[in-house]
């Protein structure tokens, strides 16, 4: 896919085999989750972030809202990794999540997603949020609706 003026999707020299997926405008919501890394292994897209203090709750675990934001971003990053979506070319129709355990701050969170089905206008995905060899932190499903290209950036 052609380079997008809104997102960068490039090999990360610090993480061989991983792509860095990043919004070019650091004032947008995605900057709260970034940096995000993507790696596709067969039918599974692995999407990673490292939660910091700003992602924590009062128990010093990853806040549920930060997990939901990461899940949503991971749907798009995985779809880009699968090659079926250009950055900014879709909207989230639904996101369903089940919280199973606590995520630790400072340890990479990984969403492992699979594309269940792609139609002309829709993408159906499901995933798990894991951390190291810990039990699953959350599971989720999401539906994206493909749309036209996003508007050009404001000056």
**Residue 44's pLDDT band (cuts 50, 70, 90):** very high
CA-CA distance, 38 to 69, in Å (whole number)?
Answer: 16
Lowest mean pLDDT among 13-17, 59-63, 111-115, 126-130: 13-17
For 18, 90, 92, 121, 155, the CA distances from 47, given in Å and listed in that order, are 9, 18, 17, 23, 31
Q: Which of 26, 108, 27 is nearest to 74 (CA)?
A: 108
Whether the predicted pLDDT of 3 surpasses 70: no
Mean pLDDT, residues 127-141 = 91
Q: Which of 93, 83, 81 is nearest to 147 (CA)?
A: 93
The predicted-structure confidence for 51-86, as pLDDT tens digits, reads as follows: 999 999 999 999 999 999 999 999 999 998 898 876
- How far apart (Å, rounded) are the C-alpha atoms in residues 79 and 123? 8
Instruction: Work out the pLDDT band at 1, boundaries 50, 70, 90.
Output: very low
Domains located in the chain, CATH noted? 7-146 (3.10.129.10)
| pTM of the predicted model as reported, rounded to 2 decimal places | 0.85
7 near 23, Cβ under 8 Å? yes
State residue 84's pLDDT score.
86
Task: For residue 151, give every residue at least 6 positions away whose Cβ sits within 8 Å of its Cβ, in sequence order, or none.
Answer: none
Tens digits of per-residue pLDDT, 88-97? 578 999 999 9
Which of 18-27, 101-110, 121-130 is least confident? 18-27
- What does the alpha-carbon distance between residue 128 and residue 148 come to, in Å, rounded to a whole number? 29
The residue among 19 and 101 whose pLDDT is bigger is 101
pLDDT at 10: 74
């Amino acid at each position: 896919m052609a380079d997008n003026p809104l997102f960068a999707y490039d090999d990360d020299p610090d993480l061989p085999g991983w792509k860095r997926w990043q919004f070019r405008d650091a004032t947008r919501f995605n900057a709260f989750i970034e940096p995000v890394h993507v790696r596709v292994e067969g039918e599974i897209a692995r999407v990673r972030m490292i939660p910091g203090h700003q992602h924590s709750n009062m128990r010093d675990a990853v806040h549920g809202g930060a997990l939901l934001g990461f899940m949503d971003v991971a749907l798009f990053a995985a779809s880009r990794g699968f090659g079926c979506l250009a950055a900014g070319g879709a909207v989230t129709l639904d996101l369903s999540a089940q919280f199973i355990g606590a995520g630790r701050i400072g340890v990479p969170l990984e969403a492992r997603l699979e594309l269940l089905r792609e139609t002309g206008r829709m993408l159906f995905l499901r995933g798990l949020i894991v951390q190291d060899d810990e039990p699953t932190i959350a599971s989720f499903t999401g539906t994206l609706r493909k749309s036209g290209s996003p508007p050009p950036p404001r000056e």
